[in-house]
Structure 1
């Protein structure tokens, strides 16, 4: 009799333990589901905030265009001021950057544009990157294709070289020999715009200016940038005059600027937004074209900001 009671008690304890384990599992699953739902809700709310932030871009770029349609430089409001806004349970930040102050890799799509190839090689050297990337990128965007197309077809996920100018700078990741480290190093200095788009000397970095002005040494570029900070170049002729005075009398005659030449205004921009909400971060990058006729800003495409 006592033995039967002991067995019954043991069975009851086993059943209680099993029920407790099931209950704990259900509670864990419910908590996991709750966290997932919360993450989804926060992500959706963040996306809505970023959608709303996009409406801040047009008024800024349009107002700048209305002040002066023929001049864009780093001392203007669009370049100096951030979109900073406190939001419920978070913070939003944004900044506009000029894409026409960067080297346009699509200028490499014309085999006859030797100036583009040579200036890009100098940029790669300045950045400490392999110069072999230049011909590889050129082969990717030229109609004749890369030297070794089989390397693209043999990848785990086969890639077909574009054979035409890139639509988005992210395509650089597909180029043979391009690593994530190389891409991250190169990205702040390059863009993918239509071939023939001019280089804005009022926003170009020291690295890019040094690449297209082979007669300039670092000291000469530093003098040019200091002069630009004091007084932005108002016209192309103004830039030429001061560059020849500060760098070398033949600085412009021997320049190797890609097709499109020098200019002092821009109509292609990049906007970086970063949002902090409930301890989570979400970012977005916009590529924007500003109309030369109305000053209206049109978003061409958007992407997440993480690598």
Structure 2
């Protein structure tokens, strides 16, 4: 018996029964690794990770730099706005000081009563060496606009007149009662306001322990329990001065006139407005002659001159807008700033409203 050929070996010609040729032995190849291709893939992945990290760090650095620039720009704008508004306040004080030199009555035909409409700030800056600030590249005032106005605070009813040394003043209470009725405000809030002012001024007794804080400005009247809508309605007609002060009949609007003068009707109030538009009241005697002896003009409650004014300024610098208001006191040629506050304030008198008051 002929044994089969070994695996991988060709059979001899004699052992092939068919006499055919033997098959060639198969060639085996060892499947080894491909190191070159794997190294290329790892290098590409490492390069992509490196680029990603570099881009991330670069973006973070640019964002921090942008943020620092924005913060610096905002701070610079704030400082510039502060100094510009301080300059506007000093300018207003100068106007009131010049008004104090002339003395006499304060009325709506004086220079201080003319509001400053929004104007480019560069128009107020003096030229230096025959070069205007508009043409000076070192001064960026092309996008700065200034507006403002001076208002007579004694042309309104003074809340401080309501209470004196813890006692409610009858005349002032009648004035505020008429004002609340004319504005359609509930008299319960007037009672609440009067009681809160009385307790705020209390220095001894049980009321002093639970007394509310006396608000320094009209915007804080909510401390005394008034509703925000009531405060908003009262704002154009009421003020809160540090001392008792009479109402200036030359600058008060018709609502304040009707509230401030006992027995004054609408026809007489219109007559007062027409008379002072033609010629302001120089003395209270002129008001008495106009209204007649039946209407009492009290020197303690009425006047034709003022000492307290509110100065408002608004600066628009690019997209930013800054409002500031200050209370100043005029005593002769001395004008003193009592307080200043900054924020987003609504205009109490729109353009042309002052003309309507006349």
Please give the TM-score of this superposition, normalised by the length of structure 2: 0.70
Deviates more, 1:14-23 or 1:266-275: 14-23
Does residue 252 in structure 1 map to residue 296 in structure 2? yes
Does residue 210 in structure 1 map to residue 258 in structure 2? yes
Matched residue, 2:205? none
Does residue 298 in structure 1 map to residue 302 in structure 2? no
Matched residue, 2:182? 126
What CA deviation, in whole Å up to 9, does each residue of 1:240-259 have, x standing for no partner?
A: 22133xxxx63337xxx7x9
What CA deviation, in whole Å up to 9, does each residue of 1:59-112 have, x standing for no partner?
A: 311222222x23111111111253866332312223211111111011122434
What CA deviation, in whole Å up to 9, does each residue of 1:227-278 have, x standing for no partner?
A: 221121121121122133xxxx63337xxx7x93111011111111111223
Per the alignment, in what secondary structure is the counterpart of residue 121 of structure 2? strand
Larger RCO (CA within 8 A; separation ≥ 6): 1
Q: How far, CA to CA, are the matches of 2:151 and 2:200 in structure 1?
A: 33
Q: Is the 8 A contact 2:179 2:256 kept in 1?
A: yes
Per the alignment, in what secondary structure is the counterpart of residue 142 of structure 1? helix
Q: How far, CA to CA, are the matches of 1:173 and 1:37 in structure 2?
A: 36
Listed as ranges, the matches of 1:37-116 within 5 Å are 37-67=72-102, 69-80=103-114, 82=116, 86-87=121-122, 88-89=141-142, 90-110=144-164, 111-116=167-172
Per the alignment, in what secondary structure is the counterpart of residue 303 of structure 1? strand
Per the alignment, in what secondary structure is the counterpart of residue 132 of structure 1? helix
Residue 39 of structure 1 deviates from its aligned partner by 1.0
Compute the RMSD of aligned alpha carbons. Answer: 2.7
Q: How far, CA to CA, are the matches of 2:230 and 2:245 in structure 1?
A: 24
> Whose Rg is larger?
2
Q: How far, CA to CA, are the matches of 2:200 and 2:221 in structure 1?
A: 18
Q: Is the 8 A contact 1:73 1:232 kept in 2?
A: yes
Q: How far, CA to CA, are the matches of 1:72 and 1:119 in structure 2?
A: 22
Residue 301 of structure 1 deviates from its aligned partner by 1.2
Per the alignment, in what secondary structure is the counterpart of residue 236 of structure 2? helix
Return closer, same or farther for 1:85/1:270 CA change in 2, 3 Å cut-off: farther
Residue 47 of structure 1 deviates from its aligned partner by 0.7
Segments of structure 2 that go 5 or more residues without pairing to the other structure are: 1-34, 123-140, 203-208, 346-358
Q: How far, CA to CA, are the matches of 1:203 and 1:36 in structure 2?
A: 44
Q: Is the 8 A contact 1:286 1:303 kept in 2?
A: yes
Return closer, same or farther for 1:10/1:196 CA change in 2, 3 Å cut-off: same
Please give the TM-score of this superposition, normalised by the length of structure 1: 0.81
Per the alignment, in what secondary structure is the counterpart of residue 116 of structure 2? coil
Matched residue, 1:285? 325
Q: Is the 8 A contact 1:139 1:145 kept in 2?
A: no
Does residue 273 in structure 1 map to residue 273 in structure 2? no
The count of aligned residue pairs is 282
Structure 1 runs (4+) greater than 6 angstroms displaced: none
Q: How far, CA to CA, are the matches of 1:186 and 1:218 in structure 2?
A: 20
Q: Is the 8 A contact 1:286 1:301 kept in 2?
A: yes
Return closer, same or farther for 1:11/1:261 CA change in 2, 3 Å cut-off: same
Q: How far, CA to CA, are the matches of 1:178 and 1:204 in structure 2?
A: 25
Segments of structure 1 that go 5 or more residues without pairing to the other structure are: 147-152, 154-158
Matched residue, 1:156? none
Q: Is the 8 A contact 1:195 1:260 kept in 2?
A: no
Listed as ranges, the matches of 1:119-198 within 5 Å are 119-143=175-199, 161-162=212-213, 166-179=215-228, 181-198=229-246
